[in-house]
Structure 1
Amino acid sequence: MSAPGDKASGKLWEGALDAQHAFGDLDGHRPALLGVHDAFDDTTAYRAELSARVDELVLSDDPVLQHDPQLPDSWWQDLTGALEKVSAVATERVAVRQQYMDRAIPEFVGIPAPAVTCWTSAHADLHWANVTAPLKVLDWEGWGQAPEGFDGATLYAYSLLQTDAAAHVRDAFPVLGSQAGLAAEATVCAQLLQTVARGDNLTLEVQLRDWAEELRHR
């Protein structure tokens, strides 16, 4: 990574190192960070990170799932178990801000931002290009506090083209569909609809709008 010298700090800059301190290798489900080297010149800071090699292939070349991976129950158990350990870690890092929810959910979902009943630590970028089988969860630089159920809601959003996989996500994360999970679902739906408005993730537009309609009825 590189950044202007006076901006070489903050959530993304420190994310991998913070994750290593907080989670280690997460019982083998996270590539351990083995070393960090910082260097500077007159105006620019540089950071090189060395992580343990991951031999497993990611389950999708794209965050949006294009085929049903037909994962065994043990994979889903490993995923939910790892994320439960993540959620139990206290942190001051913030992945989702209340101010964003208050602004984006009414704009893109059409409801007031639901009250967050519980904030927990989350990976915060849990999509199909960030997971492997056997399970490794990659790319931890954005982790931090988010509404309960945020990781499950994110994975669900990126599964919407594959109805069986989306159903598996809902089964694995029973908070989805509950009152406790409404804030997370509405936030993720708003985030993805915002990307659609910018011309990204257009293949998900119909499914996301259907999801937003469901959330409005909830």
Structure 2
Amino acid sequence: MGRRLDAQHAFGDLDGHQPALLAVHDAVDDGIAYRAELSVRVDEPVLSDEPILQHDLQPPDSWWNDLAGTLAKVTAVDTDRVAVRQQYMERAIPEFVGIPAPAVSCWTTAHADVHWANLTAPLRLLDWEAWGRAPEGFDAATLYAYSLHQPDTAARVRTAFPVLGSPAGLAAEATVCAQLLQTVARGDNLVLEEHLRNWSGELRHR
């Protein structure tokens, strides 16, 4: 069963904030399996053409409340799917952030790809292929990371998700920071490099 179909079964439409999956068709041709999925049409444009926010964006408080409430419902769903592995944290965080992997106080379910190209206003949360278990605060830390190029929006993310900056959120923040610094090392997301290095310095001091 695919992650998108699993997400539909696990979360439903999240009060309309997850586009409903209407139909799934599986086929096999020459030993290769194919799957076609039909979802409800989303008329609202995404808030950014790319994951990294390139312009200041300040949705209304109602939008932030919807996002926080939707992600809280996601965390409450039990699953054996894995989005972040402890082994990755133990390897990547020391290498890219420069601290031992923080202990995870709570593993929760995460969408695991919350960035500005997967969000609309009114709120729809798109692209559910990566969802699974992750350290508490992982979705908030991901959105914060992709907001770092726009400090005012990044500050608003912190206001909406007080887990950021708390002891409970340290493991998630260090994981996301390591993930993106790893992409920088490969030549991607270079616009975030300075912001990520500043963030990793803050994490080391915590």
Which TM-score band applies after superposition, normalised by the shorter structure? Answer: over 0.9
1:77 has 2:83 as partner: no
Rounded to whole Å, the distance in 2 between the matches of 1:190 and 1:169 is 19
**What whole-Å deviation, never above 9, does each CA across 1:94-143 have from its counterpart, x for those lacking one?**
00000000000000000000000000000000000000000000000110
1:39 has 2:27 as partner: yes
Match among 88, 93, 96 for residue 105 of structure 1: 93
Rounded to whole Å, the distance in 2 between the matches of 1:166 and 1:145 is 24
**What residue in structure 1 maps to residue 54 of structure 2?**
66
- Gapped runs of 5+ residues in structure 2? none
Rounded to whole Å, the distance in 1 between the matches of 2:7 and 2:156 is 27
Amino acid at match of 1:101: M
1:92 has 2:92 as partner: no
- Superposition deviation, residue 145 in structure 1: 0.3
Q: TM-score, normalised by structure 2?
A: 0.99
Rounded to whole Å, the distance in 1 between the matches of 2:129 and 2:195 is 28
**What residue in structure 2 maps to residue 6 of structure 1?**
none
- Superposition deviation, residue 43 in structure 1: 2.0
Helix, strand or coil for the counterpart of 1:22?
Answer: helix
Helix, strand or coil for the counterpart of 1:188?
Answer: helix
Rounded to whole Å, the distance in 1 between the matches of 2:76 and 2:56 is 30
Aligned length: 206
Match among 94, 119, 126 for residue 107 of structure 2: 119
**What whole-Å deviation, never above 9, does each CA across 1:131-184 have from its counterpart, x for those lacking one?**
000000000011000000000000000000111100000000100000000000
Amino acid at match of 1:89: V
Rounded to whole Å, the distance in 1 between the matches of 2:33 and 2:76 is 33
**What whole-Å deviation, never above 9, does each CA across 1:18-40 have from its counterpart, x for those lacking one?**
00001111101010000000000
Runs of 4+ in 1 over 4 A off after TM superposition: none
Rounded to whole Å, the distance in 2 between the matches of 1:185 and 1:69 is 22
- Superposition deviation, residue 41 in structure 1: 1.5
- Gapped runs of 5+ residues in structure 1? 1-8
1:163 has 2:151 as partner: yes
**What residue in structure 2 maps to residue 181 of structure 1?**
169
**What residue in structure 1 maps to residue 136 of structure 2?**
148
- Superposition deviation, residue 69 in structure 1: 1.8
Q: TM-score, normalised by structure 1?
A: 0.94
Rounded to whole Å, the distance in 2 between the matches of 1:45 and 1:208 is 39
**What residue in structure 2 maps to residue 4 of structure 1?**
none
Amino acid at match of 1:53: R
